[in-house]
A and B are shown apart, each in its own frame.
Chain A
């Protein structure tokens, strides 16, 4: 049993993923209490820093998803007040949350990520960027996935089958972000590999957990958004894949984890393309969901790591940075 700690669980916040974060936070709180730690729950809002200073926790468990909690903002504040925290540091958060930056880094490092271009809203308004859209289309090919460069809300992810649908998809995605990505649509299987830091003395490389596959209930090519709706997807873990595909997916996940400089934990989302059997890395979540049905706890469970143990390991990583 590890020593009893005074842990602040940071949850809620103001992002679109607030309610998921509240659920993640509640699960983490229960686990920490079960492990014998003293738990301080903080719903991150206007009095966040004052709350931190008032309670003076030894460590902060970051259970925030999306804007502010995942993009390095909260991490920067925690560093400013010298409170150790779980998960990735400020720089890795910024690299992972900015999907454009992450994809550029992956491309440079030779990690396969679907072909893409990015557009900023002001470049369309002020630099005539609209004229580039046709070229982008030709370069990447249709159908296209249009997504906000930041944030993980499924709502902003749009699908354009043809050129006519593209303006609507782009304006929809711009509602969530000033920068959007236009990415080649990869038709195939949705995979996720969670990566955990090894416990101190447990070896060098991070541990890739079993692969989870998200299987949409209805195989509906046109309905991209609903695949992310709760209840529309079932999860299979470990995913039924050939051994070498599993291994390759896990390798890629660890490579991306290290490339971005992640720490503690992360979840890497991939696609296994149907026609080519190619694995493509889509994005990395530095604060993956911690609800009981979230992918990371499921994957950990499949690896024989129970929820409490998972939480304890993540907590321990706060000091091994």
Chain B
């Protein structure tokens, strides 16, 4: 081999050298700088190994959907509408699909005008399109803390400035929201919309109370702000009364059912039918809808007509008693997930006990657990993956800065069989106790329970069923990261 030369042979197989990459760097849009990868996200790739019990996913359970039924639906689509299914469709979606959407929303007590609906490629596309439509770099989005981890990269990609409001057991505290809006106004910053998941919030599992829902709609009206209501799990309620959607409250307050003017509603078939269909929708005030439509044209012209016809065929099916068959399926999911939720709550009581706090969701897919503030769940995940083969989502993923929420974790119960939930929580609990024991030894704090002091059988007996089965009101149980409070608690422990 001769002396190295700077110019290699041109043509196929020549690798771009590092200095050439700098050229691409100059071509990338500024917003790509916000699209950062992180060591933590890289690590999440490891949670998908088959031997790992993953409580990390956002998955519903698709294994209970009968294969014959799937085949029959596809056959119906083929027999009745091959040509249409294989063709482009309208950007706003096919009428038959919109009819299904109207039916699903009616089941949650929300009336909508079919003309206000746009069919999208998953609910995720709604978040993207709403940002595309409303957000200039530096515009403010007000979101919950913690918020949906999947919205974080979208908000970042549009260079939004996100203000997060700490949740409590009743969802987003509206007085806190108003204080934030006042402060933003004083700073001359421009909020565009408020992003909320009112039902069984992802990741916190909490539900916004009715008074807060009403007040949120009023605040939006007073300040002329839009609200993006993300409602993937509304029909997956396992106990308690269903609450009206923000969309329906907004429409009612205007005295015209079916037409809100400040709420953009996001729905999806992912949790009540299948995420593999990639089918969601938005219901929006007409001027916003038009812009969403234009945005969608640029993104993908239309959502897959094959899938849309599948959805329409599915919602036309009737059970033997004449009821819509889809309602039966959702009912079966509710039963399945309710049991799994209960198993997870029981397991948490048994294996986390006093060492953590967690939310008691009345629906949805997730429990949010918060540990001693000195345990970083990102580190704990490494340990859990490497030594215990179990995974969860570290709390930091639900915060825009990737730092807060470091002692919390999101646990999915819906997509995991009961025995895996028990075993997964047992393993995580063991890791937590181990770390607490080490912390106790290192800081010499007697207040921290250590594995040596804690006999599991004793703990089970002590707490009994009374404390575990029927949880305290959400507001008492949930304790989301509040720096001052927890630091104070730790100090008193140290003495």
Chain A interface residues (CB < 8 Å from chain B): 2, 14, 16-20, 27, 30-31, 33-35, 121, 124-125, 130, 133, 153-156, 166-168, 170-176, 199, 228-232, 237, 292-293, 297-298, 301-309, 312-313, 316
User: Which chain B residue lies CB-closest to A2?
Assistant: B1
**Is residue B463 contacting chain A, with contact meaning CB distance below 8 A?**
no
The proximity string for B residues 42-56 relative to A, scoring 1 for CB distances below 8 Å and 0 otherwise, is 110110010000000
List the A residue with the shortest CB-CB distance to B38.
A229
Contact of A312 among B1, B12, B42, B443 (CB under 8 A): B1
Identify which of residues 405-447 in chain B touch chain A, using a CB-to-CB cut-off of 8 Å: 435, 437-439, 441-444
Q: With A34-B12, A168-B376 as given contacts, are A175 and B435 in contact (CB-CB < 8 Å)? A: yes
In the complex, A14→B38 CA distance in Å?
18
Return B31 CB to nearest CB of chain A, in Å. Answer: 13
* 8 Å CB interface, B1-38 against A: 1, 4-6, 8, 12-19, 21, 33, 36-38
Set of chain B residues within 8 Å of A293, measured between Cβ atoms: 18, 21
Q: Which of A166, A231, A232, A304 contacts B442 (CB 8 A)?
A: A166
Determine which of B15, B42, B442 lies in contact with A170 in the assembled complex, contact meaning CB atoms within 8 Å. B442
A residues less than 8 Å from B209 (CB atoms) = none
Binds A, one of B219-227, B378-386, B470-478: B378-386
Contact A34 B13, beta carbon cutoff 8 Å:
yes
| In the complex, chain A residues whose CB is within 8 Å of the CB of B4 | 303-306, 309
Complex Cα spacing A173 to B438, Å: 12
A143–B480 alpha-carbon span in the complex (Å): 30
Told that A229-B38, A302-B19, A308-B14 touch, could you supply 19 new A-B pairs with CB distance under 8 A? A16-B39, A18-B42, A35-B13, A125-B438, A125-B441, A155-B39, A155-B382, A167-B374, A168-B376, A172-B376, A175-B383, A176-B382, A176-B383, A229-B36, A230-B36, A230-B39, A292-B21, A307-B17, A313-B1
In the complex with contacts A19-B42, A153-B39, A304-B4, A30-B15 CB distance below 8 A: yes
Min CB distance A31 to B, Å, is 6
User: Contact partner of B46 among A16, A166, A231, A306, CB < 8 A?
Assistant: A16
Name the residue of chain A whose CB is nearest to the CB of B378.
A155
How far apart are the CA atoms of A153 and B213 in the complex, in Å? 44
Q: A286 to B212: give the CA distance in the assembly, Å.
A: 58
B17 and A297 contacting across the interface, CB-CB below 8 Å: yes
Is A16 in contact with B43, judged by CB distance below 8 angstroms? yes
Contact between B442 and A156, CB atoms less than 8 A apart: no
CA distance A275 to B17 in the complex (A): 35
B375 contacts the other chain (CB 8 A): yes
Docked complex Cα distance between A303 and B1 (Å) = 16
- State which of B8, B17, B36 has its C-beta within 8 Å of the C-beta of A232: B36
**A307–B15 contact, CB under 8 A?**
yes
Minimum Cβ distance to chain A for residue B395 (Å): 14
Residues of A within 8 A of B15 (CB): 27, 30-31, 34, 292, 306-308
Chain B residues with Cβ below 8 Å from A130 are 441-442, 444
- The secondary structure that dominates the A interface is helix
Chain B residue at minimum C-beta to C-beta distance from A157: B39
Closest to B442 in A: A167
Known: A130-B444, A167-B443, A231-B37. A30 touches B13 (CB 8 A): yes
Is B325 located at the chain interface by the 8 A CB criterion?
no
Q: Are B382 and A175 in contact (CB under 8 A)?
A: yes
* Chain B positions within 8 Å of A298 at CB level: 18
Interface centre among A35, A174, A303 (most CB of B within 10 A): A174
Cα distance, A15 to B382, chains bound together (Å): 10
User: How many pairs, one residue from A and one from B, have CB atoms within 8 Å of each other in the complex?
Assistant: 135
Q: Is B40 an interface residue (CB 8 A)?
A: yes
- CB neighbours of B382 from chain A (8 A): 16, 153, 155-156, 175-176
CB of A154 within 8 A of CB of B39, answer: yes
Output the least CB separation between B22 and chain A (Å).
9
Contacts A168-B374, A176-B382: A306 and B17 contacting too (C-beta < 8 A)? yes
Asked if B39 contacts A121 (CB within 8 A), the reply is no
Across chains A and B, which 7 residue pairs bring their CB atoms closest together, nearest first? A34-B13, A175-B379, A167-B442, A231-B36, A307-B15, A298-B18, A175-B383
Question: Closest CB-CB distance, B152 to chain A, in whole Å?
Answer: 14
- A237 and chain B: residue at smallest CB distance: B18
Q: How far is the CA of A96 from the CA of B14 in the complex (A)?
A: 32
Q: In the assembly, what is the distance between CA of A307 and CA of B20, in Å? A: 11
User: Who on chain B is nearest to A121 by CB?
Assistant: B438
Known pairs A16-B43, A172-B376, A229-B39; A199 contacts B13 (CB<8 A):
no
**A230 touches which of B12, B38, B378 (Cβ 8 Å):** B38
In the assembled complex, the Cα of A257 lies from the Cα of B46 at a distance in Å of 32
Across the interface, name the chain A residue whose C-beta is closest to B8. Answer: A306
Q: Contacts of A303 on B, CB cut-off 8 Å?
A: 4
A2 to B1, CA, bound (A): 8
Whole-angstrom CA separation of A34 from B12 in the bound complex? 7
Q: How far is the CB of A229 from chain B (nearest CB, A)?
A: 5
Taking the nearest CB of chain B, how far is it from the CB of A215, in angstroms?
Answer: 14
> Are A167 and B439 neighbours in the complex by a CB distance under 8 Å?
yes
Name the CB-closest residue of B to A128. B441
Name B438's contact: one of A19, A171, A305 (CB within 8 Å).
Answer: A171
With both beta carbons as reference points, the residue of chain A lying nearest to B441 in the complex is identified as: A130
A10–B6 CA distance with the chains assembled, in angstroms: 28
- B268 CB to closest chain A CB (Å) equals 28
A173 neighbours in B (Cβ, 8 Å):
379
In the complex, per-residue mask of B135-158: 1 if CB is within 8 Å of any chain A CB, else 0: 000000000000000000000000
Please report the C-alpha to C-alpha distance between residue A164 and residue B165 in the assembled complex, in whole angstroms: 28
Q: With the chains together, A309 CA to B36 CA distance in Å? A: 31
Please name the residue on chain B nearest to A168 by beta carbon. B374
Which of the residues A2, A34, A231, A313 comes within 8 Å of B33, measured between beta carbons? A231
Q: Which of A20, A34, A171, A305 contacts B439 (CB 8 A)?
A: A171
Give complex CA distance A155, B406 in Å. Answer: 13
Residues B6 and A304 in contact, CB atoms below 8 Å apart:
yes
The residues of B that contact A292 with a CB separation of less than 8 Å are 15-18, 21
Q: Which residues from A are CB-within-8-Å of B19?
A: 301-302
**Would A297 and B18 be within 8 Å (CB), given that A170-B442, A171-B442, A309-B4 are in contact?**
yes
Find chain A residues with CB under 8 A from B45 CB.
Answer: 18-19
Q: Are A124 and B36 in contact (CB under 8 A)?
A: no
Find out whether the CB atom of B5 lies under 8 angstroms from the CB atom of A304. yes
What B residues does A232 contact at CB under 8 A? 36
Q: Whole-angstrom distance between the alpha carbons of A167 and B376 in the complex?
A: 12
> In the complex, what distance in Å separates the CA atom of A312 from the CA atom of B378?
39
When distances are taken between beta carbons in the complex, the residues of chain B under 8 Å from A30 are: 13, 15
Nearest-neighbour CB distance to chain B for A156, whole angstroms, equals 7
Complex Cα–Cα for A171 and B5 (A) = 49
Separation in Å of the B6 CB from the closest CB of chain A?
5
Q: Is the Cβ of A124 less than 8 Å from the Cβ of B442?
A: yes
In angstroms, how far is the closest chain B Cβ from the Cβ of A152? 10
